[in-house]
Every structure is written in C-alpha cells, then in structure tokens.
C-alpha cells in the first residue's frame, strides 16, 4: 500500500454515518441530475466522491462491485449505478427515484434547447454557436474512439476485430446489431480457446481503499429486499414487460403501428438493448435508423444534437430526446398548430422506451449480484464487443468530419475554418486534457465570433 493509502486508512472514521432517509436521498439524486456533466466517467467520479468518500453511504468495494455489473449491461452505466445504489438503500422506490431523477432534469433541458434550436436555429447567434461546436464534436468523437481503444485493444486479435467492424460498417453498411452479435460470438468462442487474449484487466478492480465505515460496508449482509427470490424476479420481469407493453399498445391502438410515435418507441427500445460500450457505440445505429431509414432529422442536425447532449447534464444517450423532438416537430405529428407539443411528446416517448430496460436490468439482476461478491463472468464477449465498437466509433468520426469539413459534399469547398477549430479542439483534448464542456464552450465562442465578425 502506498503512502497516500496509508494516510487514508489511518484517518478513517470507524463509526458509520446515520441512516439516510428517502427524503435525503431524493434531494441528493435530484441535485445529481443537474450536475452530472462529463459523461459516464465524470458522473461515476461525482458519485464516488459523494457516496463513497464524503457521505459514506456505500463502501469502495461494494461501489465497484455494483459498477462492474452495470458495465456489463447495455445502457448508461452511470444511471444504472445510481439505480443500483438507490435500490440498495431504499428498496424499489429508492432505485426508481434515483434513476428517474438522473435523467429528468436533462430531459427538460433538452426539450427547451431542442425547441430553441428548431425554432430559432437560423438566427445568426444560434447558427454561429453551432458552427463552432460541430468541429469540436468531431474531435470529441475521435477522442472517444481513442479512449475506448486504449483500454481494450491490447493484442492483434482485438485490433483485427476493431478493423473488421470499421470495414463492415463503413464499406458494406452492415447493420450495427449484426456487428455486435458477431463480435460477441467471437468473444464467446475466443474466451473458451484463447482466454488470455480476452483478459484485458479491469480499470475498476482496485477496491482496497477505505474512507471509513459506510452504511453499506464491505461485510454488511444484503438487506432483505436484496436477497434473491425466484418469485420476486418473475414479478419484476413481468411488471417491467407490462410497463413496456402497455404504452406500446396504446400508441399502436391510437396511431397505428406505422405511425412515427409508435415507430420511435419500437426503434429506441432496440437501441436501448444495444448500448454496450456507452452512447458513442450506439450512435451509428441511431444514425442509420433516425437519419437514413426514418429521415426524422438530417445528418447536420444529428451532429448538432450530439453537441447539445455533450453540453447538458445527464447521460449522453439523452441525445435521443433531441432526435425525437426534431422528428416530431418537423413532421408536425400533432398538427401545424402544436409543433412544440409534438416534439415534447416525442421526446418523452423515446426517453421512456430508452431507459426502461435499465430499471428492469437493475431491479431484476441486483439480487443475483448481491448474492455473491465474486467477479462476474461474461468479460470475453464484452471485450470483443468493445473492440468492435472502436471501429464503429471511428466510422462515426469520419462521418461527422465529412459533413463538417465538406458541408456541400466533396464537390463543394473545403471549410478550412472548421478544420482549424477541430484541430484546436483536438489539441485541447489530447495534449492539454481539457474536459469536454470547456472545449465546447471555447469552440462555440470561436464559431460565434467567426460568424458575427468575420463572415
């Protein structure tokens, strides 16, 4: 143990904190919903600092054990971790409150920003801001590919998986679900015959630090509601399916299966089950469906939506609310006199279907995870999927770069100002390790100055 760990261990408080009420937890989860910037890494860091180090609601080891499970699931791991801890502390309602408040502020903020975007996007102020943000988003996506790749691609086989996935989606337009399924199969077979190639370690495995006695400590037995019971598992799965089936049935009966509202619910249900590796991994799938197949929004609008998602609190996958708002607004789904309501209703629909699986996964799987504190097994398929995702994200970066640098296509002029802004953003991210919000803000100011002063 190094000196810093010794100092932490020697100064810990052996007295656990007082029991946390549901009301106290409610206000914390609400505050977290408004300050959870920085993507999953930043959100997990905030929760660790608050819940493990400062308030000691849960110990380091139990926190990381829960996080390991959430990282194996499709969906936003930071939100799932909040659901897990809220559920451990205050049963089902605790998990529901934590998960809902994690995304609710972001939903409201994105609805308002999306309305400003579609209603006033041609105003020079808004156009200038987005002119600077778009190149920054391209650099951010490149950085995302590098981050995922540096953690995952440790040998030639995984590198080959990443290259193959890039070629499959870039050259042959292979659907994202097929890429994920193929990678999982490679990982499953490879894990049996070449396990050493799929063992990349766990960045969250060091759990030997203590910040003092916690409410849920290393040796605290699982509470009664966290004990695995088959009847409880069946009930949770049944209720979860009903919460999906009832709104889907209402949409189908009210509008028909082919209506945009219904298709949004169905499409984003599938997207929610494919978000292995974070939001950047599923964005190509959302692009294929929302832009190319359904034509709910344009490629340029998709880039703008990602910029808004980066600049607002909550999971990055909340970009789906922007996609839905723009689609509902542009298609006038509730008539030309209720454009805002159509966009807002679309955003609510896709948010429901996108995040519902996360609640089911945690409330159903939590008791299974709590029944053992051993490492979970399924890492080889996940490792292969993550390697494939590197290639998919690289394809996304090229797609964004093309639309930003050649806005009229290759036959048009090269936008050297956007290229310079993208370079500035890349240097800030890679060389100076600046966070995403700072980069977006500076690039937005540059874009505003370019559009209002020089052009």
At 301, list the tokens: 């609008």
CB 144 within 8 A of CB 131: no
pLDDT over 80 at 339, yes or no: yes
What are the backbone dihedrals phi and psi of residue 58, each rounded to the nearest 5 degrees, phi first?
Answer: -150, 145
CA-based end-to-end distance of the chain: 59
Q: According to the model, what pLDDT value does residue 253 have?
A: 97
- Which residues, at least 6 apart from 246, have a Cβ–Cβ distance to it below 8 Å? none
CA-based R_g, the chain, Å: 22
Residue 403 has pLDDT above 70, yes or no: yes
Task: Give CA–CA dist 259/257, Å, rounded.
Answer: 6
Segments in 73-175 forming alpha helices (H): 77-120, 124-152, 156-171
| Residues 92-128 pLDDT 10s | 999 999 999 999 999 999 999 899 999 887 667 777 8
For the question of whether the overall pTM of this predicted structure is more than 0.85, the answer is no
Cα angle 364, 289, 138 (rounded to 5 degrees) comes to 95
Residue matched to tokens 């310079």: 420
pLDDT per position as a tens digit, 293-312: 999 999 889 888 887 887 78
Q: Work out the average pLDDT over 163-182.
A: 87
Kindly tell me if the per-residue pLDDT of 8 is higher than 90. no
Quick: pLDDT tens for 413-438.
999 999 999 999 999 999 998 877 78
Please list, in sequence order, all residues whose beta carbon lies within 8 angstroms of the beta carbon of residue 335, skipping any fewer than 6 positions away.
342
DSSP 8-state class, residue 412 = S
What confidence tens digit (pLDDT) does each residue in 13-42 have? 668 788 899 999 999 999 999 888 656 766
Which residue, among 386, 178, 165, has the nearest Cα to 270 in the 3D structure? Answer: 178
Rounded to whole angstroms, the Cα distance separating 140 from 434 reads 11
Which backbone phi and psi does 223 adopt, to 5 degrees? Answer: -65, 165
């Amino acid at each position: 143990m190094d000196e810093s760990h010794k100092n932490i261990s020697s100064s810990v408080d052996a007295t656990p904190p007082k029991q946390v009420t549901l009301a106290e937890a409610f206000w914390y989860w609400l505050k977290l919903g408004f300050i959870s910037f920085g993507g999953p890494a930043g959100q997990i860091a905030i929760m660790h600092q608050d819940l493990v180090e400062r308030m000691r609601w849960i110990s380091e080891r139990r926190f990381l054990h829960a996080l390991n499970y959430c990282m194996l699931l499709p969906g936003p791991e930071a939100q799932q971790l909040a659901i897990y801890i809220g559920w451990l502390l205050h049963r089902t309602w605790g998990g529901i409150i934590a998960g809902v408040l994690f995304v609710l502020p972001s939903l409201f903020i994105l609805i308002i920003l999306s309305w400003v975007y579609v209603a006033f996007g041609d105003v020079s102020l808004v156009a200038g801001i987005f002119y600077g943000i778009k190149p920054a988003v391209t650099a951010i996506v490149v950085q995302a590919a590098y981050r995922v790749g540096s953690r995952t691609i440790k040998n030639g086989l995984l590198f080959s998986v990443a290259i193959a996935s890039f070629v499959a989606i870039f050259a042959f337009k292979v659907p994202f679900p097929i890429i994920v399924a193929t990678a999982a199969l490679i990982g499953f077979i490879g894990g049996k015959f070449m396990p050493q190639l799929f063992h990349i370690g766990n960045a969250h495995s060091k759990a030997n630090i203590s910040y003092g006695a916690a409410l849920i400590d290393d040796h605290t037995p699982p509470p009664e509601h966290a004990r695995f019971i088959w009847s409880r598992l069946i009930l949770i799965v049944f209720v979860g399916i009903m919460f999906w089936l009832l709104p889907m049935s209402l949409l189908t009966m009210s509008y028909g299966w082919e209506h945009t509202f219904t298709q949004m619910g169905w499409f984003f249900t599938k997207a929610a089950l494919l978000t292995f590796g974070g939001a950047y991994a599923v964005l190509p799938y959302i692009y294929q469906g929302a832009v190319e197949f359904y034509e709910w929004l344009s490629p340029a609008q998709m880039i703008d939506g990602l910029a808004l998602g980066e600049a607002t609190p909550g999971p990055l996958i909340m970009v789906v609310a922007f996609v839905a708002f723009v689609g509902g607004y542009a298609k006038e789904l509730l008539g030309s006199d209720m454009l805002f309501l159509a966009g807002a209703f679309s955003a609510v629909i896709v948010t429901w279907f996108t995040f519902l699986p996360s609640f089911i996964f945690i409330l159903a799987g939590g008791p299974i995870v709590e029944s053992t504190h051993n490492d979970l097994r399924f890492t080889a398929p996940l490792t292969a999927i993550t390697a494939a995702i590197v290639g998919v994200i690289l394809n996304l970066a090229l797609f964004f770069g093309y639309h930003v640098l050649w806005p009229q296509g290759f036959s048009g002029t090269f936008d050297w100002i956007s290229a310079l802004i993208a370079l500035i953003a890349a240097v800030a991210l890679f060389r100076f390790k600046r966070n995403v919000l700072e980069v977006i803000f500076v690039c937005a100011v540059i874009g505003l100055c370019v559009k209002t002063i020089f052009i």
